[in-house]
Amino acid sequence: MDRSELIAQIPGLRRYARVLTGDAWAADDLVQDTLERACSKWRLWTAGSNLRAWLFTLMHNQFANQVRSSARQPNTGRLVDMEDVNDELIAIDTGLDMALDLHRCLMRLPQDQRAALLLVSLEDMSYEEVAKITGVPVGTVMSRLSRARARLRELMEGNPNRAAALRTVGSKPVLHRLP
């Protein structure tokens, strides 16, 4: 493994981190942390084996740690009112709006689902590879992927049907509005 092999992996890691964290600075910090982590973990990598998958695994663990520690602080893990989302999601016309919108919707997905969706759609990884990287069975990857796609579609389409259905269920609102 030489320097150029490692450097060749960085753009992909950056892009994945960018969508995973939703923030350019946080993304590059995550990539940096991943590379630093690699320094002390080389004994766990078999030379000649898949460098990319290994780096993505390191990054995944690093990110999971960050999420865990930030989950201990309050005001994270946002709940979303579907009607509010609808208001935000109407009138998608320009490409920029579309990108912003997709970004916003992605960030509404639970972290696990987002990771599965990105590794498959963005990085073209096999379900088995994703299972290895995220440390869960293939079945779990499949269900996360499935939920991520369905949820993203709902969010992107503003899902008026579902919102209407929710409005008619019982007398109490099913989702709670946050202050």
C-alpha 134/C-alpha 140 separation (Å) is 10
Q: How far is CA 86 from CA 89, 100, 153, 172, in A?
A: 5, 15, 13, 19
C-alpha 85/C-alpha 131 separation (Å) is 31
- Phi first, then psi, for residue 175 (nearest 5°) are -100, 145
Q: How far is CA 115 from CA 112, 129, 130, in A?
A: 5, 12, 9
Residue placing its CB nearer to other proteins in the complex, 67 or 157: 157
- What's the closest the beta carbon of residue 137 comes to other proteins, in angstroms? 15
- What's the closest the beta carbon of residue 94 comes to other proteins, in angstroms? 13
Residue placing its CB nearer to other proteins in the complex, 73 or 171: 171
Of 141, 11, 133, 136, nearest to 61 (Cα)?
Answer: 133
Residue placing its CB nearer to other proteins in the complex, 71 or 162: 162
- What's the closest the beta carbon of residue 72 comes to other proteins, in angstroms? 27
- What's the closest the beta carbon of residue 98 comes to other proteins, in angstroms? 7
The residue ranges that bind other proteins (CB under 8 A) are: 1-3, 6-7, 10-12, 14-15, 18-19, 28, 31-32, 35-36, 38-40, 42-43, 47, 98-99, 102-103, 106, 117-118, 120-122, 124, 126-127, 142, 145-146, 149, 152-153, 156-157, 162, 165, 169-170, 174
